[in-house]
Structures are given as C-alpha cells and as structure tokens.
Amino acid sequence: MSSTIIELNNVAKTYSTAAGEFAALKEVNLKVDSGEFLGVVGKSGAGKSTLLNMINGVDQLTSGEVIVRTNNDSVSVHEMDENARAHWRGRTMGVVYQSFQLLPMLTLIENITLPIDLADNFRPRESKERAMQLLRLVELEEHAYKLPAFISGGQQQRVAIARALANDPPILVADEPTGSLDSVTADHIFEVFEHLVTDQGKTIVMVTHDTGLISRFSRSLTISDGELVSDMDSNTPRFDKTMMRSEAASNQTSSGSCPSSRFCARIHDRTTRPHQTIYQRGGCLYGAQRY
C-alpha cells in the first residue's frame, strides 16, 4: 500500500526584490505517495525550481510546512536548523540539476564517493565499492577514473544521478535534468529514472518545462504563476482548476488558439495523446483547442 512520503501544507514563498515582494509560490498543497514518479510541468518562471527548493529545504519558505516521512521518520523540513537539514537531506533526498554540477577536478568515482564520505564515517574501501556499484547501475563503470570533462553531457548527468543515489536516499528530486540534453540522451536518463522507480522503489519528483514529457510520469502536475493548476494521475485528472474555470465560463469556451494566450493544461484521453489544450489569460479560461 502506498503512503504519503512528501506533504506540502499551504506552502508559500515570497521573494523580496527591488520592485517589491514577489509571490513565487502561493499556498501550495500537495501529497506525494511513496513510489510515484511525479512530474511538475510549467513554463519558465512558473515556480518549479522554487517548489523543489522548498521540498528539499535548500531554501526557506515564507509560510506553510513541508513534511517528509521516510523509514518511520517524520520531519518538518523547515523546522530543522541548517546543519541538521543538510545531514537529513544527505540521507533522504538526492538532488539532480540541469547543469550536472559535478566537481571538475575529481574523477567520476571521486564525485560519488565524496557525499558518501561526508555523510558517513570515512570508510574508503566501502565507499569506493558503493560508488562503483552505482557507476555500474548507470552503465559508466569503465569511465570511473576519467574527469567529467572527458565524458558527454548525457554521461555526466548519469554520474550526477549516481551521485544523488550515493547514500541510498528514498527520494530523488530533479530540476530539469534533461533540459540540456538531446532527445535520445534525455530518453536514456528517463529510462534510468523509470528503473529507479519500478525496480528500486524510489520516489522521484522531477520538474520540467517540457510538456512533451507528461505521458512519461506516473502522475503529473501543472504549475502556473506559483500555483498548481492541474493534477493528472496516469492521464486521469485528479483535479483541474482550469476545467473548473472552464465549466463556470462554458459559453466562453471556443475552439482555436490564441498565440498570446498562456498554455494551461492538456486534457488527456485514455491514450497518452492529449485531445484538448486549455489556455488561460489573466487567470480566466481563454480558449480550448481540440484535436
């Protein structure tokens, strides 16, 4: 039976800028079940990275709470002090970034042993064995002693995934991990994630601007202007605020699209093909395009 592993209650994040306060996340409520491969999809600036940084505690929230439950351990992420949070993150949540963030002066295997040695008592032989196992998992064992500069971008991202798994965390969060990769390489990264969910029982939260990836997740959310606007479970809507707005304004629904309108959500049928795209402008339904 699946259980809630990540829970966000009324999470808000406001940045102070020269132009004033900016609400990047607005009262987000979300439950992620253990074993989900959750995709959060939204345009640039929608609040995707901010959301991930609230979940992994890299950044402070303005209000609300994030609860993470793993191995009978339930923590309120933002109530821990920075030190405790860093230790907790090291054993609970692996993080993967678009730009890989490998240390250029360390070999691939050293990039992976480093977080093990930082988290654990220093046991060089064991951490090296573990790192080699992880390199095998991402099919890069033969490159173990190379520097990152001497392997491709897709290979570097696989090393970054191996590094994120170094301390065997139950959760992985990934910020546009395929964003700088070509589609074939991106597909390989997706296969690694799918394997981690299906065969290793990991929970993955990945954010992306690429709406074409929606059908690959076990569940996908759409984020727009700091709000979750739709939630699709294997292509079946759990909720869809844009559709609710659409019903309220049913007579305004029109076929066709407007180039200046803002993409909101794709409504899928039982196949993976979207059959309707919803647009909104100024928070209201603007139009729908059917296929």
Ligand X SMILES: Nc1ncnc2c1ncn2[C@@H]1O[C@H](COP(=O)(O)OP(=O)(O)O)[C@@H](O)[C@H]1O
Interface residue list for ligand X (CB under 6 A): 15, 17, 22, 24, 42, 44-50
Whichever of 214 and 288 has its CB closer to ligand X, that residue is: 214
Whichever of 17 and 250 has its CB closer to ligand X, that residue is: 17
Supply 156's token pair: 């570097």
Q: How far is the CB of 4 from ligand X (least distance, A)?
A: 24
| Residue 42 touches which of ligand X, Mg ion, none (Cβ within 5-8 Å per kind) | ligand X
Site size for Mg ion (CB under 5 A): 2
List Cβ neighbours of 140 (8 Å cut-off, separation of 6 or more). Answer: 108, 151, 155, 158, 159, 162
| Residue 250 touches which of Mg ion, ligand X, none (Cβ within 5-8 Å per kind) | none
- The residue number whose beta carbon is nearest to Mg ion equals 49
Measured distance CA(195)–CA(129) in Å, rounded = 21
50 scored as a contact of Mg ion (CB under 5 A): no
Strands (E), the chain: 4-17, 20-33, 37-41, 63-70, 73-76, 93-97, 171-175, 203-208, 219-224, 227-233, 236-240, 262-268, 274-281, 284-290
Stretch that binds Mg ion, among 49-57, 156-164, 257-265, 279-287 (CB under 5 A): 49-57
Whichever of 47 and 274 has its CB closer to ligand X, that residue is: 47
Whichever of 14 and 215 has its CB closer to ligand X, that residue is: 14
Whichever of 97 and 279 has its CB closer to Mg ion, that residue is: 97
Measured distance CA(2)–CA(33) in Å, rounded = 6
Between the alpha carbon of residue 28 and those of residues 25, 107, 244, the distances in Å are: 7, 40, 18
| Residue 45 touches which of Mg ion, ligand X, none (Cβ within 5-8 Å per kind) | ligand X
Measured distance CA(288)–CA(226) in Å, rounded = 22
Whichever of 44 and 83 has its CB closer to ligand X, that residue is: 44
Whichever of 48 and 89 has its CB closer to ligand X, that residue is: 48
Stretch that binds Mg ion, among 44-52, 82-90, 124-132, 278-286 (CB under 5 A): 44-52
224 scored as a contact of Mg ion (CB under 5 A): no
Which of 38, 39, 49, 174 binds Mg ion (CB under 5 A)? It is 49
HSE toward the beta carbon, residue 217, CA cutoff 13 A: 27
**First CA to last CA distance, the chain:** 37
Stretch that binds Mg ion, among 42-50, 56-64, 73-81, 129-137 (CB under 5 A): 42-50
| Residue 24 touches which of ligand X, Mg ion, none (Cβ within 5-8 Å per kind) | ligand X
For residue 3, which phi and psi values (nearest 5 degrees)? -135, 160
The residue ranges that bind Mg ion (CB under 5 A) are 48-49
